């Protein structure tokens, strides 16, 4: 399914946009290789959410989350792990969908070489996703319709395929059900 140059399907509240992202593909062109992975787990954040980077308004660090839907927001967690978000909602409203886990579809050998880890640990966490796909801060603000990092839309999954639960590794608004994942996928970070 093509993006047709529009991100209207992501211009929605994060709780609506998040399940739409499940099953879509991230495509990374890296050192002459194509790496493709299916998104199997996301978490939703926006500026009304005390757990969001945008809760206190725009800063130099989080400016990309205030861009139009379909841009990348990459940040560094604990000073070592890059994490990828897909910007959602309306421009000016700080909102993003953290890619927590993906299923490798193409270029798995390159991902394995980059990570140096067993397959079962390859992409089952946000830092692992970025390490496997070579995503770093240089891609923050990038339009995901363009190489070297693209988002390919796929048909929406039925609600019966999606598990909704609380987010992982946060202390604020930890009880809010804003984590979405595809049932039955071994690459999900935690069940």
Q: Please state whether the predicted TM-score (pTM) of the whole model is above 0.85.
A: yes
**What pLDDT is attached to residue 4?**
43
Looking at residue 53, what is its pLDDT? 67
pLDDT of residue 52: 61
- Burial grade of 160 (CB within 10 A; 0-12, 13-18, 19 or more): exposed
Q: What is the pLDDT of residue 190?
A: 75
- Residue 71 has what DSSP assignment? B
- Give me the pLDDT at residue 174, please: 74
Residues of the chain below pLDDT 50? 1-4
Contact call for residues 153 and 9 (beta carbons, < 8 A): yes
Contact of 5 with 145, CB cutoff 8 Å: yes
Domains and CATH numbers, the chain: 8-182 (3.10.300.10)
How does pLDDT run across 25-35, given as a tens digit for each residue?
999 999 999 99
């Amino acid at each position: 399914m093509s993006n047709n140059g529009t991100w209207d399907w992501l211009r929605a509240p994060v709780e609506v946009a998040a399940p739409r992202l499940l099953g879509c593909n991230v495509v990374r062109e890296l050192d002459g290789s194509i790496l493709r992975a299916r998104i199997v787990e996301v978490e939703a954040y926006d500026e009304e959410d005390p757990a969001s980077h945008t809760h206190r308004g725009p800063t130099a660090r989080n400016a990309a989350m205030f861009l139009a839907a379909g841009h990348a927001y990459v940040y560094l967690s604990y000073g070592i792990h890059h994490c990828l978000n897909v910007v959602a909602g309306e421009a000016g409203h700080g909102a993003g969908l953290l890619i927590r886990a993906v299923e490798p579809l193409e270029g798995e050998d390159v991902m394995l070489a980059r990570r140096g880890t067993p397959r079962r640990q390859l992409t089952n966490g946000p830092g692992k996703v970025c390490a496997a796909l070579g995503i770093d801060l240089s891609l923050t603000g990038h339009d995901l319709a363009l190489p070297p990092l693209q988002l390919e839309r796929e048909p929406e999954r039925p609600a019966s395929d999606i598990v909704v639960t609380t987010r992982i590794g946060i202390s604020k608004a930890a009880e809010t059900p804003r984590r979405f994942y595809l049932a039955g996928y071994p690459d999900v970070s935690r069940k």
